[in-house]
Amino acid sequence: MNDKNLPPEGHQPPPPPPEKHRKHEKRRRKGPSFGTVFLLIIILAVAVLVILWKNDLIHFGKEAGKGEGEGGTSIVSSVPESETSEVSTEIEIKVENDKIYFDGKEVANADELKTKITEIGDKKTYNFIHDSAIKGTYDDVKAVLNDLERALSIKVNYNETSE
């Protein structure tokens, strides 16, 4: 036999190195990555702020927070008109030219005004203002107020000096 190809006796080849156990083997995750979740949270936060801003529930800019301390953002709670009217004890009824305004909002005619006053009743005091009123509109509103004063016992303050 040929002894040239055999390693010399006593000298065995070294054993192969053991396989290294990889601690940080890359694994495929089964869900979204942290970066994706973080990006979605940022997008949702911006969307919520835009919705609040568009609905006038939050204000940004120079005029935000006037008189309310420091800061660039102010959050304003919206109170329905009916609750605002309930807080105040007086309601303004204004006749200007041929238009009738009930608590700052225009009403179509004297009948609609009568309906609104009837709904509220004698819980409020009504201030009648008639700057530059057209006589026909003024007479209609005054007649409604006189009728309701007798029927519902409402209190009306007539502004007789500004005709």
CA distance 147 to 157: 14
Cross-strand pairs, 72: none
Looking at residue 97, the DSSP 8-state letter turns out to be B
Higher per-residue confidence, 109 vs 88? 109
CA dihedral 143, 147, 148, 152 (to 10 degrees): 170
Stated pTM of the model: 0.45
pLDDT, tens digit, 9 for 90 and up, residues 19-71: 766 666 666 667 778 888 999 999 999 999 888 888 878 776 655 555 544 44
Q: Beta-carbon neighbour count of residue 157 at 10 Å?
A: 13
pLDDT over 70 for what percent of the chain?
67
Report which residue type is found at 111. D
| Per-residue pLDDT tens over the stretch 111-126 | 998 998 888 888 888 8
Domain ranges of the chain: 34-75, 81-158
The rounded distance, in Å, linking the Cα atoms of 107 and 3 is 118
Structure tokens at 102: 């009930």
pLDDT at 162: 45
Per-residue confidence (pLDDT) for residue 87, from 0 to 100: 64
